[in-house]
Amino acid sequence: MPNAARRDRALITAVVALLSLASVARAQARTEITTSDTAVAPENLTSSRDGTVFFGSMATGTIYRAVPGAARAERWILASTAGLTNVLGVLADDKSNTLWVCQNATGGRGGAPVVGQTALRSFDLTTGAARGRYPFPDNGGFCNDIAVSGDGTVYVSESYRGRVHRLKPGASALEVWASDSAINVIDGLAFLADGALYVNTFNTGRLFRIPMNADGSAGAVVPIETSVPLVRPDGLRSAGPRTLIQAEQQGRVAELTIEGNRAEVRVIQDGLPRASGVTLVGDSALVLVNFARAVVVPYRQR
């Protein structure tokens, strides 16, 4: 490559990096993010590399997006257009330019008609265009949360059935990857550098590791002892090679550092009512509280 071309390419790369850093810096200036509508009831949130934040709605199914620096999330993917209902987990995957979404059917009790379909959905992270729909088994539980492994395989938790499903790259359907009664009310999922999937359980307040066997199958579920009890753990994200960050509906966000079969718990902030989701943007954790808004909590790993 000629020297001039190399210089131009290096300059473009530097400019892109600076713009990305500027976006994250603007995002950190926010103290909270609300949604443009009332009665949205977001249960989880996620963020892309540039600081854009995404919410799903349990009430309507619509996806909301707050661009970097914005303190309000606007309607982005309309439920009426995309056929979304009762959205719980959302996960932005920059590597594949995909927004993964857990949608759930509603109704079915007391003679009420069933509306929608419980499924993992995928959308273009840039445009919001619908990509794929991957239904859960009939009479299944809730599609709750999502994690993506290093090879691009998507894992999704099924609450009230104690199962983790996976979707391999290029696959057209989900398959059960792990199943265990110990993780019956499974909620959050996150991968760490050891290649294992870490999961929490909302009702029992437990943390577990599911090792990844050499052939990609799930190993035996391993309980992780925690230095302090967990109470209604919900949203879970990776924050470092051995570190998780977790929202607990008892009202706090905490850092969990894994050492063998033990997790050292460090409370980052307490007094966060019904904290149900967390995502990292720069040196901040955005914590979803009261199924209503995200508050910005300063966070740096020790």
pLDDT of res. 140:
83
Measured CA distances, 176 to 91, 230, 291 (Å): 20, 27, 29
DSSP letter at 112? P
pLDDT of res. 112:
74
Residue located via tokens 């976006």: 23
pLDDT of res. 244:
98
> In this structure, are strands 163-167 and 175-179 parallel, antiparallel, or unpaired?
antiparallel
pLDDT of res. 138:
82
Region 267-290: mean pLDDT is: 97
How many angstroms separate the CA atoms of 162 and 180, rounded?
6
Region 105-110: mean pLDDT is: 78
pLDDT tens sequence across 56-75: 999 999 999 999 999 999 99
pLDDT of res. 300:
86
- % the chain with pLDDT above 90: 84
Region 138-145: mean pLDDT is: 90
pLDDT tens sequence across 220-260: 999 999 999 999 999 999 999 999 999 999 999 999 999 99
pLDDT score of 215 more than 50:
yes
pLDDT score of 24 more than 60:
no
How many angstroms separate the CA atoms of 167 and 134, rounded?
9
How many CB atoms lie under 10 A from the CB of residue 253?
A: 25
Answer whether 212's CB lies under 8 Å from 195's CB.
yes
How many angstroms separate the CA atoms of 150 and 191, rounded?
9
Q: Which CATH architecture has domain 3-298?
A: 6 Propeller (2.120)
pLDDT score of 210 more than 70:
yes
pLDDT of res. 172:
97
Greater confidence, 112 or 44?
A: 44
Question: What phi and psi values does residue 116 have, to the nearest 5 degrees?
Answer: 80, -170
In the chain, which residue ranges form alpha helices assigned H by DSSP? 3-28, 79-82
At 205, the amino acid letter reads G
Region 169-185: mean pLDDT is: 97
pLDDT score of 26 more than 80:
no
Q: What is the mean pLDDT of the chain?
A: 91
pTM over 0.75: yes
How many angstroms separate the CA atoms of 127 and 142, rounded?
27
Residue located via tokens 């619908």: 130
Confidence of residue 158 (pLDDT cuts 50, 70, 90): very high
In 3-state terms, the chain is what percent helix, strand and coil (to 5)? 10, 45, 45
pLDDT of res. 301:
75
pLDDT of res. 3:
53
Listed residue (32, 24, 34, 93) closest to 64, CA to CA: 34
* Window from 6-10, 100-104, 154-158 with minimum mean pLDDT: 6-10
